[in-house]
Structure 1
Amino acid sequence: MFTTNTSSSFITTIHIITIHMTYYGPIILLVIGIIGCLCNFLTFTSRQLRKNSCAFYFLCSSLFEFLTITFGLTSRLAADHFGYNLQNTNRIFCKFRAYFVSSIPLIATYLILLSAIDRCMSSSIHIYLRSFSQIKIAYRNVGIVIIIGFISCLHILIFYDLRPKCATLPGIYAIFDGMFVIFWLGLIPHALMLIFGLFTLINIRQARQRRIKKLENKNIYIYQKQYRNSHKTDTQLIIMMFVQIGLSSLLNLTRMIYYAYYILGPLFTGDEKVIGSFLMSFTTLLYYTNYVKSFYIYTLTSRLFRTIFIQRIKGFIYKIFKSQTLVIMVQETITVTHRRTV
Structure 2
Amino acid sequence: MGLVALPQLSLNLLMMSLLDRYACTLGPVSHIRRLLRLKMVPWAVVATVVVSCVMSLYAALLNDVVPGFGCTSTNATLNAILYIGLHGMLTPCAMLILTLLTYRNVSNSRKRVGVITTNVTVRNGNRFRNQFIATVFVQVFVSSFFVLQWIVMYWYFLATLYDNRTAEQWLVIYFSLGLTNNLYYVVNVKSFYLSTLTSRLFRETLIAGVVKLLPGHVYRRWNRNNQTVTNTVVRFTK
TM class by smaller structure: 0.7 to 0.9
Cross-structure match for 2:49: 146
User: Structure 2: how far apart are the matches of 1:223 and 1:304?
Assistant: 22
- CA contact under 8 A between 1:201 and 1:234: conserved in structure 2? no
Please give the TM-score of this superposition, normalised by the length of structure 2.
0.80
User: Structure 2: how far apart are the matches of 1:294 and 1:152?
Assistant: 22
Cross-structure match for 1:182: 84
- CA contact under 8 A between 1:174 and 1:264: conserved in structure 2? no
- CA contact under 8 A between 1:240 and 1:298: conserved in structure 2? yes
Cross-structure match for 2:59: 156
Letter in 2 for 1:315: K
Over aligned residues, Cα RMSD in angstroms? 2.2
User: Structure 2: how far apart are the matches of 1:234 and 1:150?
Assistant: 34
Query: Aligned-pair distance for 1:299?
Result: 0.7
Query: Aligned-pair distance for 1:158?
Result: 2.8
Moved over 6 A (4+): none
Please give the TM-score of this superposition, normalised by the length of structure 1.
0.57
Cross-structure match for 2:26: 124
Note the 1:52-201 alignment, pairs <5 A. Answer: 99-128=1-30, 129-163=32-66, 164-165=68-69, 166-169=71-74, 173-201=75-103
- CA contact under 8 A between 2:10 and 2:187: conserved in structure 1? no
Where 1:271 maps in the other structure, the secondary structure is: helix
User: Structure 2: how far apart are the matches of 1:259 and 1:108?
Assistant: 20
Cross-structure match for 1:277: 174
Runs of 5+ unmatched residues, structure 2: 220-238
User: Structure 1: how far apart are the matches of 2:137 and 2:186?
Assistant: 17
- CA contact under 8 A between 2:103 and 2:133: conserved in structure 1? yes
Query: Aligned-pair distance for 1:126?
Result: 4.2
- CA contact under 8 A between 2:131 and 2:199: conserved in structure 1? yes
Deviation track 1:255-305 (CA, whole Å, cap 9, x = no partner) reads 012123333432475222211221012102321222222111111111221
- 117, 129, 133: which one pairs with 1:234? 129
Note the 1:320-339 alignment, pairs <5 A. Answer: none
Where 2:118 maps in the other structure, the secondary structure is: helix
User: Per chain length, whose mean CA-contact separation is higher, i.e. which structure has more relative contact order (CA < 8 Å, sep 6+)?
Assistant: 1
Letter in 2 for 1:159: L
Letter in 2 for 1:104: L
- CA contact under 8 A between 1:244 and 1:297: conserved in structure 2? yes
1:223 aligns with 2:118: yes
User: Structure 2: how far apart are the matches of 1:194 and 1:153?
Assistant: 21
Where 1:127 maps in the other structure, the secondary structure is: coil
- CA contact under 8 A between 1:251 and 1:290: conserved in structure 2? yes
Give the direction of change, closer, same or farther, for the CA distance of 1:283–1:203 in structure 2 (3 Å limit): same
- Count of residues in Structure 1 that have an aligned counterpart in Structure 2: 213
- CA contact under 8 A between 1:168 and 1:174: conserved in structure 2? yes
Give the direction of change, closer, same or farther, for the CA distance of 1:316–1:140 in structure 2 (3 Å limit): same
User: Structure 2: how far apart are the matches of 1:126 and 1:296?
Assistant: 33
Query: Aligned-pair distance for 1:117?
Result: 0.9
Letter in 2 for 1:135: L
User: Structure 2: how far apart are the matches of 1:288 and 1:158?
Assistant: 22
- CA contact under 8 A between 1:299 and 1:306: conserved in structure 2? yes
User: Structure 1: how far apart are the matches of 2:175 and 2:106?
Assistant: 45
Query: Aligned-pair distance for 1:155?
Result: 2.6
User: Structure 2: how far apart are the matches of 1:195 and 1:152?
Assistant: 19
Deviation track 1:222-243 (CA, whole Å, cap 9, x = no partner) reads 4323322232123212211121
- CA contact under 8 A between 1:124 and 1:204: conserved in structure 2? no
Deviation track 1:129-153 (CA, whole Å, cap 9, x = no partner) reads 3333223223212211211221332
Where 1:132 maps in the other structure, the secondary structure is: helix
Runs of 5+ unmatched residues, structure 1: 1-98, 216-221, 323-342
Letter in 2 for 1:187: M
- 204, 222, 226: which one pairs with 2:106? 204
Letter in 2 for 1:167: T
Letter in 2 for 1:132: L
